[in-house]
Amino acid sequence: MAFEEPAGEAGSSGAQPSGPPTFEAAMDALSADAVLWEGVGESLAWTSEVTAGLTLESKAFSFMGSDTAQSYEEARLLVQTILLQGSATTQDAAHTLRIVRETYEGADEAAKARLEGTWDWE
């Protein structure tokens, strides 16, 4: 299955921009990715909360025995834990992307200050 660009990403003509992205475009991409990963983390956290509510009393498995009830609960708890870990990991990724953006912006501003008067930055 081939990867397809989302509609509208390539522009109205469908042509891809040539050359490397501008500094501003790269910074905007870091912010957009951070928002995306933060949204994924929130969705995983919500799903983990929903999964926490899927507990069943052991009598619901009376026709299959207590081993089945125990297996269900272990599986449910495992899914809930993995979802919560995924949420934390994606939230950390979003936070890291924001730190990367701040670091690059700070380094860019520091370089501009050091070179002030050497080049016109506008």
Residues 97-108 pLDDT 10s: 999 999 988 888
At 117, list the tokens: 């008067």
pLDDT category at 3 given cuts 50, 70, 90 is very low
Residue 121 pLDDT more than 80?
no
**Which pLDDT score is estimated for 36?**
97
Q: What is the DSSP letter of 119?
A: B
Torsion angle of the four alpha carbons 20, 23, 90, 46, in this order, in degrees rounded to the nearest 10: -110
- Tally of domains in the chain: 1
Full domain range(s) for residue 28 = 23-114
Residue 45 inside a domain? The answer is: yes
119 in a structural domain? no
Asked, for residue 1, whether it belongs to a domain, the answer is no
The answer to the question of residue 55 being in a domain is yes
Instruction: Quote the pLDDT of residue 1.
Output: 36
- Confirm whether 47 is domain-assigned: yes
| Amino acid at residue number 3 | F
| pLDDT, tens digit, 9 for 90 and up, residues 71-97 | 999 999 999 999 999 999 999 999 999
pLDDT score for 97: 95
pLDDT tens, residue by residue, 61-76: 888 888 999 999 999 9
Residue 18 maps to a domain = no
Measured CA to CA, the distance from residue 46 to residue 113 in angstroms comes to 45
Question: Residues 40-67: what's their mean pLDDT?
Answer: 93
CA 84, 45, 91 angle in degrees (round to 5)?
A: 80
Question: How confident is the model over 9-38, as pLDDT tens digits?
Answer: 444 445 556 677 788 898 999 999 999 999
Backbone angles phi, psi at 62, to 5 degrees: -55, -30
